Amino acid sequence: MNVFTVFRLSVVAPIVLSGIGAAYAILAEASFSQDWQDILAWNGDGGIFPDDSSTASIPTWILIGGIGLTVVVALVNHVLLFFYWKPSRAIYFVTCILLYPSMLFMGLSIFTPVEYVLYEVAAFISGITLALAYYSPVAERFK
């Protein structure tokens, strides 16, 4: 398999894996014991997302909006990265830099082992995407 195919697979794989993880969380939760369902209901406790939208402050809404905008830009940029759009490599780097620290504001997170593995593999593959985009023959396609 050539490096360009690996690059394109590395662009698509994190989105697919994250989608599978989210679908698993939604579909499999009903089959878990009540104890597990109670634990998973606690996910996100203590994060910036308020339980009641009327209690959120303006800075909280600005932070939530900024994170949301960054997620939208990152998703659109994945498509552009797939087609080697010149600025998409830098945008991918910046959105990674912005989104990983934003996880600190999401509160305590509880995942099933399957979700956890899928999300960690997706993050690892995202790193491979960055490395290929900057330090392989793929980098020439962005110039």
* 111-121 pLDDT per residue, tens: 889 999 999 99
Residue-wise pLDDT tens digits, 35-92:
888 887 776 666 777 666 677 788 888 888 888 999 999 999 999 999 999 999 999 9
In degrees, rounded to 5, the angle at the alpha carbon of residue 89 between the alpha carbons of residues 114 and 80 is 80
Tokens of 9: 């697979």
- H or E element at residue 77: helix 58-82
In the predicted model, what is the mean pLDDT of the chain?
Answer: 88
Task: Decide: helix, strand or coil at residue 57.
Answer: coil
Q: Give the count of beta carbons closer than 10 Å to the beta carbon of residue 17.
A: 20
Q: Does 109 or 51 have the greater pLDDT score?
A: 109
Q: Does 88 or 25 have the greater pLDDT score?
A: 88
Question: How many structural domains is the chain composed of?
Answer: 1
| Residue 88: per-residue pLDDT | 95
* Long-range contacts (CB closer than 8 Å, 24 or more residues apart) made by 122-126: 122/13, 122/14, 122/15, 122/17, 122/18, 122/21, 123/14, 125/10, 125/13, 125/14, 125/17, 126/10, 126/14, 126/96
Domain of residue 80: give its range.
Answer: 3-142
> Is residue 141 pLDDT above 70, yes or no?
yes
Q: What is the DSSP string of 8-55?
A: HHHHHHHHHHHHHHHHHHHHHGGGS-HHHHHHHHTTTTTSSS-SSGGG
Phi, psi of 46 (to 5 degrees): 90, 5
